[in-house]
Amino acid sequence: MAARTMQAARCPTDELSLTNCAVVSEKDLQSGQHVLVRTTPTHKFVFTVKTHHSVVPGTIAFSLPQRKWAGLSIGQEVEVSPYNFDKSKQCVGTMTIEIDFLQKKSVDSSPYDSDKMASEFIQHFNSQSFSVGQQLVFSFCDKLFGLLIKDIQAMDPSILKGEPASGKKHKIEIGLLLGNSQVIFEKSESSSLTLVGKAKTREARQSIINPDWNFERMGIGGLDKEFSDIFRRAFASRVFPPDIVEQMGCKHVKGILLYGPPGCGKTLMARQIGKMLNAREPKIVNGPEILNKYVGESEANIRKLFADAEDEQKRLGANSGLHIIIFDEIDAICKQRGSMAGSTGVHDTVVNQLLSKIDGVEQLNNILVIGMTNRPDLIDEALMRPGRLEVKMEIGLPDEKGRVQILNIHTAKMREFNLLAVDVDVKELATETKNYSGAELEGLVRAAQSTAMNRHIKASAKVEVDMEKAEKLQVNRNDFFAALDNDIKPAFGTNQEDYASYIMNGIIKWGDPVTRVLDDGELLVQQTKNSDRTPLVAVLLEGPPHSGKTALAAKIAEESQFPFIKICSPDKMIGHSEIAKCQAIKKIFDDAYKSQLSCVVVDDIERLLDYVPIGPRFSNLVLQALLVLLKKAPPRGRKLLIIGTTSRKDVLQEMEMLDAFSTTIHIPNISTGKHLVEALELLGSFKDNERAIIAKEVKGMRVSIGIKKLLMLIEMSLQMHQEYRVSKFLALLREEGALDDANRIRI
């Protein structure tokens, strides 16, 4: 048929208007033919035609969407000519269609399966012509949908020949839909339509993980395990194709809580998670900033944080990008509800608002809330349940491997510009910095740098830099060790001054009993380190006053070389109320649980308990706290050695406290004249001839004196003139206990 002029008409029935065909008389054309309709010299459109008896010959009927698309009016004359498709180039491979409800009033929240929709579309419109920009109406599940053809990609010619696909793709303006074409539905931006299934988006899944990230460049060290755990829990579901996640019925994790000691990298890690993901810049909020003195403003601040995510989810649904909201110091706004006596209740309503936004009735799926705190115990428990901040990750003190990474990060720039001396061994520094947090390691590097810079400053009338030497500046090993000794001490580490004061006179091994105690202590240290069955080892050193129990406990603790050693001593708690004392003791144990290996010395237990024999009276509150803490096993993977000391074993027996210790070691007094002379020899205070006189005096006598008291008597007698030292010493011994008829000195 040659080109002919025909008149545009209205589609005769509603049913025909859903066929996407131009309707003609059977006298003019045959059903299934394709025609090119030229409306003006420059505008032409391709339609597939269908015949119907009610159409007047010489006219061609179009539905309303077709007339809109082609800009046709009723009665307009158009030029119609046959159109033949080039099957090698013009078959539809993939067609992307934007979909929305035809009538906006017929909004429906039930999900529509895009896979079923696609197969029905292909059956309904098979062998029809489609053009980019074309509008049509599609009936599915008794609902009418308005469609707009967004994009057509031609089918690979190799597939048409029955050969494997060549992978070549090219866009076309007009295509012929076949049974094996692929149709992808994309809901329009403003639509409230809910689509499910594989055919709901055309975009190749964009990886949410940034391809060029690495830990060291991001300044994160020692957190590899924690990062991989967070990734497994929080991001694995977001990396998978959405249709598989949908089929599994899997919900994305919407909240992470990072907790742990200060300076270990919680804030840094949260900030870097945003960089690692192909997400928009995270919103970082300090907890206290949310609170406002005006009624309702604090809750409004929470709503504002989630407004962008809500808006995007309404527009794009499952295709919405990820919104990250980071709450630093989340315990400031999410305290246990009802816990703040006499408060205005603002905290409670802020918690309620946050809970409803993360996992309320209208929940958001495009958010990730990251909370950070040093005090997870303060946070409302409703916030910690699955569906909210369900991934709880402890960011603890770095191990040796982690410390190497952190030190490498902070010295990288110095190494690059040759400002780090060759004698600096990062591994050696990592070994020496047990229990240092990431922030403390950074502080150590800064302190070493300032020590090195100080060498090149001339202290004359005015402070100036020696420029000649400054250009040769290098930070060396001594700078780091000077910083270790003088400047930076770990908050959760061993306070050497603390236990060094207890053994300032050294350990006097006056006989087998002392050696035996130290050997047993070494065995207990090895048990704590090596045994997986006993992560908690508690030992009680008991003996008479002044027998050196505290010094031996401090010595065992020091020789353990554990990264965390703390002494819980009554002298630190003078004037404390019972509750304050319990809290101070609990804090020492809580700090100990944060380290891999810890040793806590609980010194002078009866003094901690406020025990006095008159009455007798003691603090039951402190006793109960100690009983609980002595029996409480440390967290998994952590090990704790507890060394207690007491002079009143009988009292602890009555208080049922002895059962809390794994074993008890007796620390005896010096009990024979031989041991007394041996102690004098080790102390080296008296000369040989003086010791011989003392030995003769005490020979065969039974003695009972504590090493600490002996030291005091010796020092006192040494203040005398040399001639009278021995006689004064023996007199002091007699005065303390006096020689009785049985020739026994009791001291």
Tell me the catalytic residues.
549-550, 603-604, 631, 708
State the Cα–Cα distance between residues 616 and 607, nearest whole angstrom. 13
HSE-CB for 207 with a 13 A CA cutoff: 6
State the Cα–Cα distance between residues 175 and 127, nearest whole angstrom. 10
State the Cα–Cα distance between residues 598 and 589, nearest whole angstrom. 9
State the Cα–Cα distance between residues 371 and 285, nearest whole angstrom. 10
State the Cα–Cα distance between residues 233 and 251, nearest whole angstrom. 11
For residue 9, the tally of other CB atoms under 10 A from its CB is 20
State the Cα–Cα distance between residues 480 and 411, nearest whole angstrom. 12
State the Cα–Cα distance between residues 484 and 447, nearest whole angstrom. 9
State the Cα–Cα distance between residues 295 and 548, nearest whole angstrom. 62
The pair of structure tokens assigned to 482 is 């000077």
Helix 707-717 × helix 673-683 angle, to 10°:
60
HSE-CB for 506 with a 13 A CA cutoff: 7
Beta strands, E only, 586-728:
597-602, 639-646, 663-666, 670-672, 702-705
Q: Are 258 and 393 in contact, with CB atoms under 8 Å apart?
A: yes
What single DSSP character describes residue 234? Answer: I
- DSSP string for 494-547: --HHHHHGGGTT-----SHHHHHHHHHHHHHHHHHHH-SS-SEEEEEEE-STTS
Nearest to 255 by CA among 329, 348, 354: 354
| SS3 per-residue string spanning 318-358 | HHCCCEEEEEECHHHCCECCCCCCCCCCHHHHHHHHHHHHH
| Cα-trace Rg, the chain | 42
Please list, residue by residue across 128-153, b when 16 or more beta carbons sit within 10 angstroms of its beta carbon and e when fewer do.
bbbbbebbbbbeeeeeebbbbbbebb
Q: Which residue is associated with the tokens 């409803």?
A: 356
Q: Are 60 and 9 in contact, with CB atoms under 8 Å apart?
A: yes
The pair of structure tokens assigned to 431 is 């070994």
Bridge partner list, 48: 34
**What is the enclosing helix (H) or strand (E) of 443?**
helix 438-454
Nearest to 500 by CA among 437, 572, 565: 565
Bridge partner list, 513: none
Q: Are 700 and 675 in contact, with CB atoms under 8 Å apart?
A: no
The pair of structure tokens assigned to 662 is 């794994």
State the Cα–Cα distance between residues 68 and 224, nearest whole angstrom. 59
Please classify residue 248 by burial: count the beta carbons closer than 10 Å to its beta carbon, then call 0-12 exposed, 13-18 middle and 19+ buried: exposed
State the Cα–Cα distance between residues 634 and 600, nearest whole angstrom. 12
Bridge partner list, 60: 8, 24
Q: Are 182 and 94 in contact, with CB atoms under 8 Å apart?
A: yes
Angle at 502 between CA 500 and CA 503, to 5 degrees: 70
